[in-house]
């Protein structure tokens, strides 16, 4: 078998290992700031996601016991607990990693891929790829402090096409004890423009054949997931923005036969909405829920009447929101388009 490829009969629902941990399948959720909170992760896991890391936590804020950071790392039942850590000071990152390990986190993922200006402007996220020695020191401190927790790194192909250093960095990180590498197939300069470069992801995989490897970028269907695994030699694929408003995407990728009707979809979304109110309180929860409800409507009910959509997103009482949402899901998408 050629390097960088996997057999065509690879099963997405088969487990794989990250260090001494077993991930139940090969569909992972990308940690996304402001999105993959506890209510969202619960939904993703119930739909079949194999691993759902918490959104990124700043190392300095965790060290200072900031309440918001502590809320972000809360677990979700019996599922594996993973948290993404962001920062640029190796010592502070190490202290934060020890705190996460003490809290029972099983996988600590170091963010070296976020392209957002508010992150890279602080020389964090993808900006660390422009400072390879600093990036390695961070990995070494986190690995030393993490105890029995596994350490992973999520990164891009490089800062831009003149600095495609993901393969070289991945090799150094693996030698430092990282158990898993995730690569998004774009540079920071690209952000989310264009298409993910599958061949470039495969090149990074070839540099670290002995550890778990995850490919990220543009996977929205079962066919694309299998193609990504086969072409890159990755152990798993990671879904990010494609999961917005598609609660059963993981089930579709795993091909487990789920074909939810309107009532099942409504119940799922209503539970997510109510979970957000519990997690954040009524007022903050309603504000937080608006983007999720908007994504659900965009994906699942794109032909919803504009006035009805607006009433769902702006209702002041949860009961009114749910009543309007039930109205939107009372018809099938084809009936809406008729």
> Does 76 show up as a binding residue in the annotation?
no
Q: Is 124 left (phi over 0), alpha (psi -120 to 50) or beta?
A: beta
**Is 154 one of the annotated binding-site residues?**
yes
Question: Taking a C-beta distance cutoff of 8 angstroms, is the pair 95, 59 a contact?
Answer: yes
Distant-in-sequence, close-in-space partners of 15: CB < 8 Å, separation ≥ 6: 22, 23, 24, 25
Do the beta carbons of residue 182 and residue 152 sit within 8 Å? Answer: yes
* Residue 124 falls in the annotated catalytic set: no
What 3-state class would DSSP assign to 43? helix
Residue 84 is labelled as binding a ligand? yes
Helical ranges in 121-246 per DSSP H: 132-145, 166-175, 198-207, 222-232
Rounded CA-CA distance 306/275 in Å is 26
**Distance in angstroms (rounded) separating the CA atoms of residues 42 and 82:** 13
The helix (run of H) or strand (run of E) holding residue 151 is: strand 150-156
Q: Is 217 left (phi over 0), alpha (psi -120 to 50) or beta?
A: left
Q: Pick the catalytic residue: 114, 146, 312, 328?
A: 114
Q: Which residues are annotated as a binding site for FMN?
A: 84, 154, 184, 240-241
Catalytic residues: 114
């Amino acid at each position: 078998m050629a390097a960088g490829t996997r057999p065509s009969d690879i099963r997405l629902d088969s487990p794989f290992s990250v260090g001494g941990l077993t991930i139940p399948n090969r569909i992972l959720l990308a940690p996304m700031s402001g999105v993959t909170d506890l209510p969202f992760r619960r939904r993703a896991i119930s739909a079949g996601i194999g691993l759902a890391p918490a959104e990124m936590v700043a190392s300095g804020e965790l060290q200072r016991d900031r309440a918001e950071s502590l809320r972000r790392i809360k677990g979700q039942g019996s599922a594996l607990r993973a948290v993404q850590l962001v920062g640029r000071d190796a010592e502070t990152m190490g202290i934060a990693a020890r705190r996460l390990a003490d809290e029972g986190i099983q996988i600590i993922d170091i963010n070296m891929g976020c392209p957002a200006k508010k992150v890279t402007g602080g020389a964090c996220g993808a900006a660390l790829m422009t400072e390879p020695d600093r990036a390695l020191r961070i990995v070494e401190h986190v690995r030393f402090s993490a105890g029995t927790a596994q350490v992973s790194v999520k990164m891009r192909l490089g800062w831009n096409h003149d600095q495609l250093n993901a393969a070289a960095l991945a090799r150094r990180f693996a030698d430092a004890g990282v158990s898993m590498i995730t690569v998004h197939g774009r540079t920071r300069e690209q952000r989310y423009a264009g298409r993910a470069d599958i061949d470039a992801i495969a090149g990074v995989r070839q540099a670290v054949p002995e550890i778990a490897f995850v490919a990220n970028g543009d996977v929205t269907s079962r066919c694309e997931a299998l193609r990504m695994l086969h072409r890159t030699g990755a152990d798993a694929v990671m879904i990010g923005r494609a999961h917005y408003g598609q609660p059963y995407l993981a089930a579709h990728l795993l091909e487990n036969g789920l074909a939810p009707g309107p009532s099942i979809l409504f119940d799922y979304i209503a539970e997510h909405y109510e979970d957000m109110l519990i997690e954040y309180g009524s007022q903050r929860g309603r504000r937080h829920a608006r983007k999720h409800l908007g994504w659900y409507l965009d994906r699942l009910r794109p032909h919803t009447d504009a006035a009805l959509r607006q009433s769902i997103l702006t209702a002041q009482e949860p009961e009114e929101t749910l009543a309007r949402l039930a109205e939107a899901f009372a018809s099938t998408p084809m009936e809406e388009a008729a």
